[in-house]
Homo-oligomer: A and B are copies of this chain.
Amino acid sequence: MRLTIAQLAKRLEAELVPILSGSAPDKTGSSQISAVGPVETADESEVTFVSDGKHKASLEVSRAGAVIVAERLDGLDKPQLIVKNVNAALIEALNIFAPKLQAVTAGIDPTAKLAQDVKIAEGVSVGAGVVIEDGVEIGQDSVIVSGCKIGENSKLGKNCRLDSNVVIYHNCRLGNNVVIQANSTIGSTGFGYSFIDGSHRLIPHNGGVVIEDFVEIGANCCIDRAKFGNTIIGAGTKIDNLVQIAHNVEIGKCCLIVAQAGISGSCKLGDGVVLGGQVGLKDNIEIGDGAMVGAQSGLSHSIAAGQQFMGSPAIEKRESFRIFGLMKRLPKMTKLLKQLIKRVEKLEAAEDDKE
């Protein structure tokens, strides 16, 4: 895909500001753009973008053919595409210049194995080697890529996409526009055992998993089914790779769970919660709306809406910074304390002399 800068401006509903100085103002609208690139590496055939004023310096030395900005930058020797929301325009530009891939074709690959009692809506694509069990329903235009397995009675909404080798166990429900990347596992039995007569006996997991609309799940994730009721991932929540979500967890809407985080059984997360990478949550705790837990933190108690915690064990974020700063001063503190002891000894000796 190639567009002139003028065409691109139109597509992005941007105001085109031509080159304000320099040698080739007449070329501003007719130069060709074929990709999006970051400020540092973009060349003349690429459009770049700046979300804030910070990058202005690097922008001036950037070779990019044009730049998407929110406000006109004075004195910039480069065509500017002024947009309301740089991030939205960036997404649009990336979609325009996305590498061209073949369109997914609807239909069921002959090597897929579908049980008798399966409902596949119009426009659905089922790839090679996919296994779909009885009672499964798949909504319109969903794409089930090769090697996936969908267990008994699980239901998928419209426009979902399961990438290669995703496994959905029985009795799971996915809403519309759910994306699950390769090798992820949904609905596995949770880690619940009772120690009875000398051995760990598995507690049956009669519940399921509910994944609401517009949830996106990365690669190689695990979401366990519930013992009772459902493990729930709220609408619009996004989950990175290699994340563990245990049985009976309930996650609110529009949360972000970064890679390798682990959420223990029966935790409840509000809406808009952010968990950093490699975070671990103890079981049965609650995280209020909009709360954030910093990367690698281990949180062992509930936190309220909007709170920010970090560390392992996690404490309030500012306190955590303060304490960590003081920990680094421990060698100095130790030295001061030793000196002080000597000074007190000296004072005590002087006092003794007087008596």
| A interface, CB within 8 angstroms of B | 35-38, 41, 85, 87-88, 90-91, 94-95, 97-99, 101-102, 109, 111, 113, 127-129, 131, 133-134, 145-147, 149, 152-153, 163-165, 167, 169-171, 181-185, 188-189, 191, 193-194, 196, 198-204, 206, 214, 216, 218-222, 224, 227-229, 236, 238, 240-242, 244, 246, 254, 256, 258-260, 262, 264, 277-278, 280, 282, 295-296, 298, 300, 312-313, 315, 319, 322-324, 326-331, 333-334, 336-337, 340-341, 343-344, 347-348, 350-351
25 A-B pairs (CB sep. < 8 Å):
A87-B196, A90-B203, A91-B201, A98-B204, A99-B171, A109-B113, A111-B113, A129-B129, A145-B149, A164-B167, A181-B188, A191-B256, A199-B214, A199-B236, A200-B238, A219-B224, A220-B220, A220-B222, A222-B242, A246-B259, A259-B264, A296-B312, A313-B324, A329-B334, A343-B348
Tell me, in angstroms, the Cα distance from A198 to B188 when the chains sit together: 32
Contact partners of A343 in chain B: CB under 8 A: 344, 348
Tell me, in angstroms, the Cα distance from A37 to B248 when the chains sit together: 12
Contact partners of A204 in chain B: CB under 8 A: 91, 94-95, 98
**Interchain CB contact under 8 A, A167 and B183:** yes
Please give the count of copies of this chain that the complex contains.
3
Tell me, in angstroms, the Cα distance from A128 to B224 when the chains sit together: 24
| Nearest residue, chain B, Cβ from A171 | B99
Q: Given that A36-B206, A98-B206 are known contacts, is A331 also in contact with B322, CB under 8 Å in the complex?
A: yes
Contact partners of A102 in chain B: CB under 8 A: 133-134, 152
**Interchain CB contact under 8 A, A196 and B85:** yes
**Interchain CB contact under 8 A, A165 and B149:** yes
Contact partners of A337 in chain B: CB under 8 A: 333, 336-337, 340
Tell me, in angstroms, the Cα distance from A217 to B102 when the chains sit together: 29
Closest 5 CB pairs of A and B: A87-B194, A94-B204, A185-B219, A167-B182, A222-B241
Q: Given that A147-B131, A327-B327, A344-B340 are known contacts, is A196 also in contact with B242, CB under 8 Å in the complex?
A: no
